[in-house]
């Protein structure tokens, strides 16, 4: 205790001495005060080249002693300070720098004292363990003596340690996400990390065992293709005049399985269409018209063609026409034949009339013989026409006995 009091007195004297030196330096500076025996003009302001700055050592005061007995050390801060309180380089201060360290508590320690080895490692890293140390009572020579020689209580030989909860580390996987493709082989990934039992992510080295995989293949099956499948149109609802035919259209995958229409791309084929738009054909009997009668009088026959035709004018089989066909043969010119009419003259004279033994058809030429003939047996060229229901012989000309051609008058002769 005497040593501590002596140290305190020395400290106080050092501080007091430092303050006296600082005030002495300050008193050497003229701050403009009037000095007795001088004029006011000389003391109003200092000369322009006078420096009013001063520097002094300033100590912060001694700290606590490093030991309670047996001699320790205490330190203080010592700086060179300008008169405005700013710390500057030590070279600005004059005189010896005050000590920044000194000995303290130099009195001898008690003869016997406790000596500890310091606590060793904890028995466990978490969950509460024990760490121990060696505690002995020793004299000043380091000899272990009875514990009763040392002050009580003795330091604890053991203590609890690492009482914090033990953390358990395990691999945690987020679960695989969606596959990168729907078919044909893709990949999917998940997040894998090491976590403690509080859910905090820690370094992977804390987890034991092999971590779960972060990536894997997926959807290895072959990709299906989808196409429209049509059954083909069925029979038309009408044979003519416009009908309807339908078909079944579905979407199928490449395995032939029917799926929803949304799987197929492109326009869906029509399920119905019109058919047989052509107009319906009708059939009727068509008559060619009656031909010439086989005779001009006395009863003959005449014929006509009778065919079955459609509404487009095409001849078809008679079975397509309904009903009995019209008659194709009928009687004609059933009236009695009149007597022949004789011409009154022949080539400028009375030669009788032309007799036409034969013709080449309804219209043609025939040869007639002139009655009461002209010398040389005059031959007449008779042109026949069918008029008024009779063959009419028109006298055109004659050749008589090779003597020349005579153009005669036209005579009519009725011949059946």
pLDDT at 389: 43
Q: Which pair of tokens denotes residue 291?
A: 């031909």
Closest CA to 112 of 152, 132, 140: 140
Mean pLDDT along residues 299-327: 93
Strands 354-355 and 364-370: antiparallel
Indicate if the pLDDT at residue 24 is higher than 90.
no
Give the mean pLDDT of the chain.
Answer: 75
pLDDT digits (tens, 9 = 90+) for 271-295: 999 999 988 889 999 999 999 888 8
pLDDT at 7: 38
pLDDT at 316: 94
pLDDT at 144: 93
pLDDT bin (cut points 50, 70, 90) of residue 110 is low
Q: Tell me how far apart the alpha carbons of residues 115 and 7 are, in angstroms, rounded to a whole number.
A: 28
* Helix then strand then coil, % of the chain, to nearest 5: 10, 30, 55
- Give the whole-number percent of the chain exceeding pLDDT 90: 49
Q: Tell me how far apart the alpha carbons of residues 398 and 345 are, in angstroms, rounded to a whole number.
A: 13
End-to-end CA distance of the chain: 192
Q: Tell me how far apart the alpha carbons of residues 416 and 187 are, in angstroms, rounded to a whole number.
A: 113
- Residue 54 C-alpha from the chain's centroid: 84
For the chain, domain boundaries: 2-28+52-104, 113-161, 170-218, 226-271, 283-332, 354-415
pLDDT bin (cut points 50, 70, 90) of residue 319 is very high
pLDDT at 34: 32
pLDDT at 399: 41
Residues 6 or more apart whose Cβ sits within 8 Å of residue 176: 188, 189, 190, 216, 218
Does 36 or 264 have the greater pLDDT score? 264
Q: Tell me how far apart the alpha carbons of residues 369 and 359 are, in angstroms, rounded to a whole number.
A: 14
Indicate if the pLDDT at residue 25 is higher than 70.
no
Mean pLDDT along residues 207-211: 95
Of the segments 1-5, 124-128, 296-300, which one has the largest average pLDDT value?
A: 124-128
Half-sphere exposure of 388 (CA within 13 A, CB side): 8
pLDDT digits (tens, 9 = 90+) for 157-173: 999 999 988 889 999 99
pLDDT bin (cut points 50, 70, 90) of residue 416 is very low
Neighbours of 342 (CB within 10 A): 12
pLDDT bin (cut points 50, 70, 90) of residue 338 is low
Mean pLDDT along residues 144-169: 92
Lowest mean pLDDT among 99-108, 130-139, 181-190, 253-262: 99-108
Q: Tell me how far apart the alpha carbons of residues 15 and 60 are, in angstroms, rounded to a whole number.
A: 9
Decide: 132 and 158 in contact? Cβ < 8 Å. yes
């Amino acid at each position: 205790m005497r040593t501590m009091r002596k140290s305190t007195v020395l400290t106080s004297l050092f501080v007091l001495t430092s303050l006296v030196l600082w005030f002495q330096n300050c008193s050497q500076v003229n701050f403009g005060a009037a000095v007795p025996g001088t004029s006011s003009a000389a003391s109003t302001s200092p000369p322009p080249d006078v420096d009013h700055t001063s520097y002094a050592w300033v100590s912060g005061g001694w700290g606590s002693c490093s030991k309670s007995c047996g001699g320790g050390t205490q330190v203080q801060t010592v700086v060179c300070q300008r008169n405005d309180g700013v710390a500057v380089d030590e070279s600005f201060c004059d005189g010896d720098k005050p000590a920044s360290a000194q000995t303290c508590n130099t009195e001898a320690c008690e003869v016997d004292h406790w000596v500890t080895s310091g606590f060793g490692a904890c028995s466990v890293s978490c969950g509460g363990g024990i760490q121990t140390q060696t505690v002995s009572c020793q004299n000043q020579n380091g000899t272990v003596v009875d514990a009763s020689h040392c002050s009580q209580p003795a330091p604890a030989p053991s203590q609890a340690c690492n009482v914090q909860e033990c953390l358990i580390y395990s691999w945690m996987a987020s679960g695989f996400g969606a596959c990168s493709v729907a078919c044909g082989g893709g990949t999917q990934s998940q997040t894998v990390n090491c976590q403690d039992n509080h859910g905090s992510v820690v370094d992977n080295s804390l987890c034991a065992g092999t971590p779960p995989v972060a990536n894997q293949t997926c959807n290895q099956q072959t990709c299906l293709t989808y196409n429209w499948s049509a059954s083909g149109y069925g029979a038309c609802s009408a044979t003519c005049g416009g009908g309807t035919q339908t078909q079944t259209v579905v979407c199928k995958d490449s395995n032939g399985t029917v799926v929803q229409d949304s799987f197929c791309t492109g326009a869906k084929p029509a399920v119905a269409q019109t058919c047989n738009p052509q107009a319906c054909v009708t059939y009727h009997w068509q008559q060619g018209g009656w031909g010439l009668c086989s005779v001009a009088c006395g009863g003959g026959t005449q014929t006509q063609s009778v065919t079955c035709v459609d509404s487009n004018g095409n001849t078809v089989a008679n079975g397509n026409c309904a009903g009995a066909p019209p008659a194709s043969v009928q009687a004609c010119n059933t009236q009695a034949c009149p007597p022949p009419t004789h011409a009154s003259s022949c080539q400028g004279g009375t030669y009788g009339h032309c007799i036409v033994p034969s013709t080449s058809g309804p219209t043609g030429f025939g040869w007639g013989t002139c009655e009461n003939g002209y010398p040389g047996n005059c031959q007449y060229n008779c042109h026949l026409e069918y008029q008024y229901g009779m063959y009419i012989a028109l006298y055109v000309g004659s050749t008589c006995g090779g003597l020349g051609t005579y153009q005669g008058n036209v005579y009519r002769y009725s011949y059946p």
